Structure formats: C-alpha cells, structure tokens
C-alpha cells in the first residue's frame, strides 16, 4: 500500500518549503494527509489548501500540534493521526532547522537546539512512527536528511553532523526492518531554494522544491532506501566523497 496512490500519510513539516511541495503533490494524486506542526493556524490553512488540491471534502485532512523541541508530545500527535486516518501507510518528516556555522560556534545553546531538532528528537519521533508502522504490518518512513551529512565540511560542521547522524540511523533502520515491511527512505537534498536557504548565495545547481517533490514521490513508489535530489546532487556528492582529506582541508565550501 505504501507504494501506491490513495495512501494515508502523516506529514510532519508540510507548511513550508520542500514539505509543502511534496504534500501538494501527494494530495493532488489522491493521498489523504494528516499534518503535524507547530502553528495551528498555519496547519489549518495548509490542510484546507491540500483539500482543494485533492478535490476532497472540507475537514477531511486533519492536523495536530507537534513541535520537534517537545518530544513528550510525539506519541499523542501520532495517536491523533492514527485515529483520524484509521491506518497509517506513510510517515513523512521534512521538518528540520539550519543555522550558519559561525552563529552556532558563538552559541552553545543554539548548537544544542540544532542537534536536538535535527538529530535526537527526529530519531525519537521516527522511533514512535516505526513502532506504529510495524504494528500495522509495515509502511514507508520518509525522512529528509541532507547531503551536508556526507562529508565533514567547514561551513556545515554542526548542521552536517546532525544530518550525518540522522542518515546513519535511517540506513540502519532500513537494514533492520525492511524484511518486516518497514521501508525507510533517506532523502538527501542538495541546495534547494526554500525559506531555509533564503539569504544564502545559491551555488550552481541550486534546485527547486517542486523538482525535489517529484523525485521523492517516485522514490517512495519504488521503495528506494536513499535519494539524492535534485539532479545532479548525487553526482556532485559522489565526487566530494572521493576527495582526499588534504583537498577538503584547503577548500572553503
């Protein structure tokens, strides 16, 4: 079921950026979504927008409060989603944060905030989702990590570490539970033009969220475990992964 249209999807992060593009694509092709996020008004607006795109009845796409800074609320949020959807086929997590390396180096509290959101609490949320998906016979867990986790790089030492740890976990999850029906997809975007990257100088090959959404949708359907997106970020990272350390030390990117 997780690889076909008409799925029941819990979506954490559909209010902005790549999450919004992917949620719109899913709704337009007939998936039923339940949104999790921080801002009730934003969630309400997003849910109504998705219903219109799906041609669905008003009120058919529900939402519940969930904040990646508050892991104590994860279980209740997923329970609310389960009750509204009946069964859950796919859980998508696009929610995450970025901060510049210089700002992080100047503020240990901010480092903790980033590691909590992108690493510790995202994994705690995945663990709650994993248990529920496995208990109902399986499904897809789709999580946005980043190419920043592929290689130690000067401008993203801490953000990259948070995503490297997350990707390590996602790969292990796929190895461990695929036989039991849990398909874990680790999405690694390159630079994509969203609110998160507004104000940063776009590098060559900066992508658009809609292109990412289309590729993620295909990867879910094909039950892939890993996706670099958009093109050609898979090739770019292949090159970067092969560079020797002395070259990486000299480079500023």
Query: Is residue 28 part of the contact set for ligand NAP (CB under 6 A)?
Result: no
**Stretch of 31-39, 51-59, 80-88, 221-229 contacting ligand NAP, by CB under 6 A:** 31-39
**Stretch of 36-44, 53-61, 72-80, 214-222 contacting ligand NAP, by CB under 6 A:** 36-44
Query: Is residue 160 part of the contact set for ligand NAP (CB under 6 A)?
Result: no
Q: Do 60 and 35 meet the contact criterion of CB atoms below 8 Å apart?
A: no
Of 32, 189, 216, 227, which one interacts with ligand NAP (CB under 6 A)? 189
> Strands 63-65 and 226-229, how do they pair?
unpaired
Query: Is residue 169 part of the contact set for ligand NAP (CB under 6 A)?
Result: no
Q: Pattern 191-220, binding to ligand NAP, x per CB under 6 A?
A: xx-xxxx-----------------------
Which one, 110 or 134, has the nearer CB to ligand NAP? 110
Which one, 134 or 196, has the nearer CB to ligand NAP? 196
Q: In what order do the strands lie in the sheet with 139-144?
A: 63-65, 32-37, 8-12, 90-93, 139-144, 182-189, 226-229
Tokens linked to 170: 């996602």
CA distance 13 to 74: 14
Which one, 16 or 29, has the nearer CB to ligand NAP? 16
Of 7, 9, 10, 13, which one interacts with ligand NAP (CB under 6 A)? 13
Of 2, 9, 11, 19, which one interacts with ligand NAP (CB under 6 A)? 19
Residue by residue, DSSP assigns the chain as -TTSSS-EEEEESTTSHHHHHHHHHHHHTT-EEEEEES-HHHHHHHHHHHHHHHTPPTT-S-EEE--TT-GGGHHHHHHHHHHHHSS--EEEE-------HHHHHT-HHHHHHHHIIIIIIHHHHHHHHHHHHHHTT-EEEEEE--GGGSS--GGGHHHHHHHHHHHHHHHHHHHHHGGGTEEEEEEEE-SB-SGGGTTSPPPTT-B-HHHHHHHHHHHHHTT-SEEEESTTHHHHHHHHHHS-HHHHHH---
Minimum separation from the CB atom of position 117 to ligand NAP (A): 5
Which one, 125 or 183, has the nearer CB to ligand NAP? 125
Query: Is residue 37 part of the contact set for ligand NAP (CB under 6 A)?
Result: yes
**Stretch of 32-40, 54-62, 133-141, 213-221 contacting ligand NAP, by CB under 6 A:** 32-40
**Stretch of 1-9, 13-21, 56-64, 100-108 contacting ligand NAP, by CB under 6 A:** 13-21
Site residues (CB under 6 A) for ligand NAP, limited to 133-152: 144, 146
**Interface residues with ligand NAP (CB under 6 A)?**
13, 15-19, 37-39, 42, 67-69, 94-98, 117, 144, 146, 189, 191-192, 194-197
């Amino acid at each position: 079921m997780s690889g076909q249209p008409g799925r029941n999807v819990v979506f954490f992060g559909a209010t902005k950026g790549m999450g919004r593009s992917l949620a719109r694509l899913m709704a337009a092709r007939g998936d039923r979504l339940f949104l999790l996020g921080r801002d009730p008004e934003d969630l309400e607006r997003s849910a109504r927008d998705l219903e219109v795109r799906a041609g669905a009845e008003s009120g058919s796409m529900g939402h519940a409060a969930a904040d990646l800074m508050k892991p104590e609320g994860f279980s209740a949020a997923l329970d609310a989603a389960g009750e509204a959807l009946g069964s859950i086929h796919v859980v998508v997590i696009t929610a995450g944060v970025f901060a510049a390396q210089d700002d992080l180096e100047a503020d240990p509290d901010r480092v903790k905030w980033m590691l909590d959101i992108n690493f510790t609490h995202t994994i705690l949320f995945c663990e709650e989702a994993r248990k529920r998906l496995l208990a109902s016979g399986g499904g897809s867990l789709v999580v946005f990590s980043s190419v920043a986790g592929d290689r130690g790089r000067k401008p993203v030492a801490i953000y990259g570490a948070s995503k490297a740890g997350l990707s390590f976990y996602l790969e292990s999850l796929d190895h461990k539970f695929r036989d039991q029906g849990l398909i874990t997809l680790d999405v690694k975007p390159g630079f994509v033009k969203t609110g998160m990257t507004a104000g940063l100088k776009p590098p060559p090959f900066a992508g658009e969220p809609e292109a990412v959404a289309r590729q993620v949708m295909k990867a879910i359907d094909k039950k892939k475990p890993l996706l670099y997106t958009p093109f050609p970020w898979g090739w770019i990272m292949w090159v970067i992964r092969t560079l020797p350390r002395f070259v990486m030390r000299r480079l500023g990117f």
